[in-house]
Amino acid sequence: MLHQLVSGLMTGAIYGIVALSLVMIFNATNHINFAQGEMAMFSTYVAWMLINAGLPYWAAFGATVALSFVGGMALERMVLRPFRDAPLLSIVVVFVALLLAFNALAGWIWGYVLKKFPSPVSQFSTGTSLIGAHELFVVAVTVLMLTVLFLFFRFTRLGLSMRAAAQNPVSARLVGIRVGRMLTLGWGLAAAIGAIAGMLVAPIVFLDPDMMGGILLYAFASALLGGIDSPAGAVLGGLIVGVGENLLGAYVVGNDIKLTVALIVVISVLIVRPRGILGRITVRRV
Amino acid sequence: MSLLTVRGLKAFYGASEALHGIDFSLSRGGVTALLGANGAGKTTTLRALCAMIRTEGTIEFDGRTIGGMATETIVRRGVALVPEGRGTFTDLTVEENLRLGAITRGKSAEVEADLDRLLGIFPRLRERLRQQAGTLSGGEQQMLAISRALMLRPRLMLLDEPSFGLAPLVVRDIFEILRRINADEGVTMLIVEQNARLALDLADHAYLLETGRIVLEGPSADIRADEGIQRSYLGY
């Protein structure tokens, strides 16, 4: 039981960090990016290539985060910018197209064979069978990212500008915020966070073009459960979904329909409490 | 010398022309009223000045052409619009809304002092600093919109129907505060109002718009005395 709980928390941390990147893009653009998982997977392949080319882990890690940041910004400028004034459904279609494109592109470049991805802490041991060094590392990074993001959005002028630009672009321009730049920056940051998430996930699930498929669904459930605009909610939601999934999988429903449970969570949250646990309710008075 | 000079200003919504080449100027430190019926082009004029719609003609602010600049660039030059509908960031707190007004000014003791001073003028906002701005009443949101604009330390303030939807007592308060801000800080104002009497009381100069053209202009006192205006807009 304890084992299941701990391993649930570990998976939960992974869902949480992927959910964080979803929240990031939502806070910057008011959209949910379905291609987030595939972008993360793509970044992870880049890291894998760099490591195979002989770069030390942390150099590859840093380079991948930087490349993803630039790539995310380029993606916004070149692919999403033309759809700036398009209806929501068109944008959703763009996201789905990106998802399929990244998946196919990764398969085409790197093939569909599972690849081993290294962990920077594999040489360490925690001295217990309960929790591995990499799992602990994942939790630490997730908590660190959450803290950084929270501080960024809550206490920096850039974070406030980004939230304002996403929420009310017209008013944001009227206080002098360069809205276009904020959107671009938001995509860059989300892609960078996604890259970190991908590199944390890969040592656990192995690297392949479909590695983020299931995880993204859980992350989506986590983000919704915690509140799609709340970084803390995303991680909390991730932990709840992770533990819930593990306990249910082990004791109640079995592994086969775990994913279905995640979907049920998504739908239930949307029905019962659309803003999630920590999400803000939007009140408008006229 | 005038702070803003507009010549042959045309504005377009898609293909249709909403302003047919208007000329006007705002004197430095003065309050100018832009009057007219619904659909005359008052709001359109303010939007045109902030580059929120497509325009033709010249707009000079402080001796430099601002036509063709992006909205955010014009704002950074010191033009603040209090928009129709107030433009509240509803999900953010009152304090965040206010700080956004000064976001282009950087972080400074002056900004903190301005925040404190505005909260002195609008104590209702101080009570609600941590509250989500969307929960404020209409009058409070109007105060917030005016304060947010003032946080920019604007040289020109454009006000779109500050009396809209508010109780008469609240309207009186808000106009009194505008008068004080103009007198104490010399902020030039262009105020659009359907309530002509109210606007003429505050303004020293006025323009009358009719279907996208300026049909009359003059000192507020003259306009107020004009019989045609009285009949059509003041309801005497």
Give the model confidence (pLDDT) of A9-20 as tens digits: 888 888 888 888
| The two three-digit tokens of residue A242, written as one number | 């992770």
Q: Hey, of A173, A175, A278, which one would you mutate to test binding to chain B, going by the most B CBs within 10 A of its CB? A: A175
A155 in contact with B at a CB cutoff of 8 Å? no
A164 in contact with B at a CB cutoff of 8 Å? yes
pLDDT at A233 over 70: yes
Complex ipTM value: 0.91
Closest by Cβ to A176, choosing from B76, B83, B135: B76
**pLDDT tens sequence across A109-143:** 888 888 888 888 777 776 676 677 888 888 888 88
Average pLDDT, chain B: 90
B53 in contact with A at a CB cutoff of 8 Å? no
Q: Give SS3 for B132.
A: strand
**pLDDT tens sequence across B136-151:** 988 899 999 999 999 9
Residues counted in chain A: 286
pLDDT at A153 over 90: no
Q: Return the minimum-mean-pLDDT range out of A215-229, B92-106, B188-202.
A: A215-229
The verdict on a CB contact (< 8 Å) between A174 and B87 is: yes
The verdict on a CB contact (< 8 Å) between A177 and B103 is: yes
**pLDDT tens sequence across A265-285:** 778 877 877 777 777 665 544
In angstroms, what is the C-alpha Rg of chain B? 17
For CA atoms A114, A117, A123, A125, give the dihedral sign: negative
Q: List strands edge to edge, sheet with B2-13.
A: B16-27, B2-13, B54-61, B64-65
The verdict on a CB contact (< 8 Å) between B92 and A171 is: no
pLDDT of residue A286: 44
pLDDT of residue A283: 52
When pLDDT is averaged across residues B79-105 and rounded to a whole number, the result is 92
Is the distance from CB of A145 to CB of A193 less than 8 angstroms? Answer: yes
The verdict on a CB contact (< 8 Å) between B87 and A163 is: no
| Domain span holding position B207 | 2-234
d(CA B184, CA B201): 17
Q: Which residues of A touch B158 (CB under 8 A)?
A: none
pLDDT of residue A255: 66
Q: Hey, of B50, B89, B144, which one would you mutate to test binding to chain A, going by the most A CBs within 10 A of its CB? A: B89
**pLDDT tens sequence across A29-60:** 778 888 888 999 999 999 999 999 999 999 99
The domain over range A2-272 is classified in CATH as 3.30.499: no
For CA atoms A52, A54, A57, A61, give the dihedral sign: negative
**pLDDT tens sequence across A195-225:** 999 999 888 888 888 888 888 888 888 888 8
- Name the more confident of A154 and B235: A154
Q: Return the minimum-mean-pLDDT range out of A103-107, A237-241, B97-101, B164-168.
A: B164-168
Model-wide pTM > 0.90: no
Alpha carbon of B75: minimum distance to chain A alpha carbons (Å): 5
User: CB under 8 Å to A109, separation ≥6 — which residues?
Assistant: A45
B87 in contact with A at a CB cutoff of 8 Å? yes
Q: Which residues of B touch A170 (CB under 8 A)?
A: 52, 83, 87
Q: Which residues of A touch B101 (CB under 8 A)?
A: 175
- Name the more confident of A88 and B99: B99
The verdict on a CB contact (< 8 Å) between B89 and A177 is: no
The verdict on a CB contact (< 8 Å) between B100 and A161 is: yes
Per-domain boundaries in chain A:
2-272
pLDDT at A161 over 50: yes
Closest by Cβ to B72, choosing from A178, A280, A282: A178
pLDDT at A192 over 60: yes
Taking Cα atoms as reference points, which of A66, A72, A61, A64 lies closest to residue A35?
A72
User: Residue B173's domain is classified under what CATH number?
Assistant: 3.40.50.300
- Number of Cβ within 10 Å of residue A277's Cβ equals 16
Number of domains in chain B: 1
Taking Cα atoms as reference points, which of A214, A212, A210 lies closest to residue A195?
A212
Closest by Cβ to A177, choosing from B72, B92, B148: B72
User: CB under 8 Å to A278, separation ≥6 — which residues?
Assistant: A226, A227, A230, A232, A233, A236
**pLDDT tens sequence across B51-84:** 999 999 999 999 899 988 999 999 999 999 999 8
| The two three-digit tokens of residue B204, written as one number | 């020293």
Q: Which residues of A touch B76 (CB under 8 A)?
A: 176
The verdict on a CB contact (< 8 Å) between B101 and A175 is: yes
A116 in contact with B at a CB cutoff of 8 Å? no
B148 in contact with A at a CB cutoff of 8 Å? yes
For CA atoms A153, A158, A162, A164, give the dihedral sign: positive
**pLDDT tens sequence across B212-227:** 999 888 899 888 887 7
pLDDT at A64 over 60: yes
The verdict on a CB contact (< 8 Å) between A176 and B90 is: no
Residue A5 — pLDDT band, cuts 50, 70, 90?
A: confident
The verdict on a CB contact (< 8 Å) between A282 and B90 is: yes
Residue B93 — pLDDT band, cuts 50, 70, 90?
A: very high
* pLDDT over 70 percentage in chain B: 97
Closest by Cβ to A167, choosing from B76, B89, B138: B89
The verdict on a CB contact (< 8 Å) between B75 and A174 is: yes
pLDDT of residue B116: 93
Q: C-alpha distances in angstroms, B13 versus A274, B54, B209?
A: 37, 7, 18
